[in-house]
Amino acid sequence: MTIDVSSFTIVEARKLLDAKEISSVELTRAYLDRIDAVDGKVQALMTVTGDLALKQAKDADAAIARGEVAALTGVPVILKDVLCTKGVRTTCSSKMLENFIPPYDAGVVERLKARGAVIIAKANMDEFAMGSSTENSVYFTTHNPWDLTRVPGGSSGGSAAAVSAGEAPAALGSDTGGSIRQPASFCSVTGLKPTYGLVSRYGLIAFASSLDQIGPLTQDVADSALMLNAIAGYDPRDSTSVPQPEADYYGCLGGSVKGMRLGVPKEYFAQGVTPEVKAAVDAALKVYEDLGCSIEECSLPTTSYALAVYYIIAPSEASANLARYDGVRYGFSYKDTGSMWQAMEKTRGLGFGPEVKRRIMLGTYALSAGYYDAWYVKAQKVRTVIRREFDAAFEKYDALITPTAPTVPFKIGEKAADPFSMYLSDICTIPVNIAGLPGISIQAGFADNLPIGLQIIGKPFSEKTILNLGHAYQQNTAWHKRRPKL
C-alpha cells in the first residue's frame, strides 16, 4: 500500500502497525522515500542509515508477529548527530569528529532500541551543539521547511526540520540553552526539554554538562509523552542522573486543566519579542482562560541577566569538556609538525569551527587566574538568584507561560556576522536550563506563514503537568496539524 507519511504521528503509525495494515519495513521504506524526495531541499540529515533501519524494521515486524509490541516497536526515529551510535558515524557536525565511529550506544539510544524503535538517520546540527540556527555545521546549513531561505533554529535544527518535513515522526535533540525548544518553535513542531537529570546524558557528546539535557521533537504533545516514556529513567553511568520512579507520561494526558494557576512573567516580553509573537501568546492565554485556568502576570526580575550567566557558564564548561579533543585517541589529528604541543594546537585550531573556538576562548578566559571569581563564580551566584526566583514563582503557579523565541525564524546569514545578536534568539529559553527546569515548546500560530512557539515551564520533575497543559491546548487548537508544503 502507498502511504503518505508526511504528517504521520507515532500514535497513528502505531495503530496501523498494530492492526497489521502496514509493516514496519513498509513504513520505514515510506520514510526513506520521503527523505529521498525532500531532504535535498531541507538538508536536515547528516547520515541516513537505510540498510540498518530496514534490518531493524524487519526485526520489529518479527517482534510484532510474536506479539511483543512496545510503544515504539517498528517506528522510525531520527537522532541528533551528538548522540553516540555504535558502528554509525557520529560527527557532531564538526571536522573534529568527521570519521568518528563510536564503539557504544548512548543510553537513550539503547533505550529506544530496547523499545523497538527503528533508527533511520542522524540529523545535522550546529557544531558541538553551539548555535541557534544550524548554520554552524561545518558540512552544510539546514533549511527551514516553512521557508527554505530561513534557518530552522538550532542547535537541533536538523532534528526539528526533519520532523517538520515528515522525514520521521520523531527525533531526539539536545537542549543546553534552548536547542530543542527554539528550533521546535521555528519549525512548528513540539519540543520538550526535560528536567535536568531525568534523562541520561551517557553517550551524549558533552557541551555544557550542568545544562545539557536530551529530549524529543515530535508533531504533537502526545508523541512527545510517548518518547519521554521511552527515554526517561535512571542510569548509573551518568552521575547526575536522578533516581526517579518510572512514570507514564502518555497515560497522564487528557486530565482537566481547570483551576490550574498560570503565571506570565512580564520580563519575557521585554527583550525583543515582536508584536506577532506577543499576539500569539495572548491568544494562547485566552485558550487557557476558556479552559478554566487562572492567568496572572508575574515578575522574575533577574531574567535579564540570564543571558550573561549562560554565556559565562556554558563556555566555561565547554572549554573543559572540549579539552579532550587533542588528536590522540580519536578524531581529527594534525601530524605534520615536530612537537606534541604544536600538533595539539594545530589539531584544535584546524578541527574546530569559529563558534566553537569563540566559546572555548570565552570559557578559558572566565576560568583563568585572576578572572575566575569575577566572572565564573559571579555567574554561578546569579544562577542561584535566578533559581530562587523560579522556586518562589512555583509556590504560586503550576506553570509559567512565555514565548519560546522572541521572533519568527530569521533569514539564513542574517545574524551570522554578529554573535551577540545570534545569542539573543535563545533569550526566552536560557533561564530554564540555568535553573534545571522542564520546558516544552508547542505550536501556537503563524505570522506570514512563519511559525510561532509557546513555551510552558514547569517546576522540577513536573513533566506531567506541562505535557498535560500542552496537550489540552492542542486538543482545542489546530496549529500543530498544519504541515509545510515541500
Q: What is the footprint of another protein within residues 366-425 (CB under 8 A)?
A: 368, 375, 377-385, 387, 419-420, 423
Residue 226 is placed in which grid cell? 510517548
Closer residue to another protein, CB minimum distance, 166 or 460: 460
Q: Which stretch binds another protein (CB under 8 A): 42-50, 168-176, 363-371, 408-416?
A: 363-371
CB of 100 to another protein, least distance (A): 6
CA of 471: how far to CAs of 91, 263, 295, 454, in Å?
Answer: 34, 18, 18, 13
Catalytic residue among 80, 113, 415, 459: 80
Establish whether 156 is a catalytic residue. no
Closer residue to another protein, CB minimum distance, 161 or 440: 440
Give strand ranges (E) for 137-224.
Answer: 170-175, 190-193, 213-218
Please classify residue 210 by burial: count the beta carbons closer than 10 Å to its beta carbon, then call 0-12 exposed, 13-18 middle and 19+ buried. middle
CB of 333 to another protein, least distance (A): 3
Residue 204 is given by DSSP the state B
Catalytic residue among 94, 156, 164, 179: 179
CB of 380 to another protein, least distance (A): 3
Which residues in 141-200 contact another protein (CB under 8 A)?
A: 196-197
Closer residue to another protein, CB minimum distance, 218 or 319: 319
CB of 266 to another protein, least distance (A): 18
Phi, psi of 293 (to 5 degrees): -80, 150
Please classify residue 254 by burial: count the beta carbons closer than 10 Å to its beta carbon, then call 0-12 exposed, 13-18 middle and 19+ buried. exposed
CB 132 within 8 A of CB 423: yes
Of the residues 129, 360, 401, 456, which one makes contact with another protein according to CB under 8 A: 360
Which residues in 118-137 contact another protein (CB under 8 A)?
A: none
CB atoms within 10 A of CB 344: 17
CA angle 475, 270, 296 (to 5 degrees): 50
Closer residue to another protein, CB minimum distance, 148 or 367: 367
Picking from 63, 438, 402, the residue whose alpha carbon sits closest to that of residue 249 is: 438
CB 464 within 8 A of CB 473: no
Binding residues for another protein, total number by CB under 8 A: 71
CB of 89 to another protein, least distance (A): 11
CB 452 within 8 A of CB 408: yes
Of the residues 331, 353, 439, 470, which one makes contact with another protein according to CB under 8 A: 331
Question: Per residue in 259-282, is it b (16+ CB within 10 Å) or e — as a string?
Answer: ebebbbbebbbeeebeebbeebbe
Side by side, the strands of the sheet bearing 213-218 are: 45-48, 118-123, 76-80, 170-175, 213-218, 190-193, 439-447, 450-457, 399-403, 261-265, 294-298
Which residues in 218-277 contact another protein (CB under 8 A)?
A: 236, 239-240, 242
Of the residues 16, 37, 247, 308, which one makes contact with another protein according to CB under 8 A: 308
CA of 34: how far to CAs of 41, 56, 169, in Å?
Answer: 12, 18, 12
CB of 1 to another protein, least distance (A): 42
Q: Which stretch binds another protein (CB under 8 A): 38-46, 140-148, 199-207, 361-369?
A: 361-369
Establish whether 155 is a catalytic residue. yes
Alpha-helical (H) ranges within 126-246 are 157-164, 181-187, 221-231
Closer residue to another protein, CB minimum distance, 114 or 377: 377
What sign has the CA pseudo-torsion 356, 362, 363, 365?
positive
Residue 227 is given by DSSP the state H
CB of 260 to another protein, least distance (A): 24
Establish whether 193 is a catalytic residue. no
Picking from 303, 211, 279, 277, the residue whose alpha carbon sits closest to that of residue 452 is: 277
Q: Which stretch binds another protein (CB under 8 A): 12-20, 215-223, 246-254, 305-313?
A: 305-313
Of the residues 234, 305, 372, 446, which one makes contact with another protein according to CB under 8 A: 305
Q: Coil, helix or strand for 427?
A: coil
Residue 401 is placed in which grid cell? 507561560
Give strand ranges (E) for 219-334.
Answer: 261-265, 294-298
Paired with 190 in beta bridges are 218
Residue 61 is placed in which grid cell? 515486524
Q: Which stretch binds another protein (CB under 8 A): 105-113, 259-267, 281-289, 324-332?
A: 324-332
Which residues in 336-355 contact another protein (CB under 8 A)?
A: 338-341, 343-350, 352, 354
Of the residues 99, 256, 449, 476, which one makes contact with another protein according to CB under 8 A: 99
CB of 120 to another protein, least distance (A): 24
Q: Which stretch binds another protein (CB under 8 A): 40-48, 274-282, 306-314, 443-451?
A: 306-314
Q: Which stretch binds another protein (CB under 8 A): 106-114, 166-174, 268-276, 297-305?
A: 297-305
Catalytic residue among 155, 174, 185, 200: 155
Of the residues 55, 357, 482, 483, which one makes contact with another protein according to CB under 8 A: 357
CB of 182 to another protein, least distance (A): 19
* Residue 302 engages another protein in binding (rule: CB under 8 A): yes
Task: Give the residue numbers marked as catalytic.
Answer: 80, 155, 179
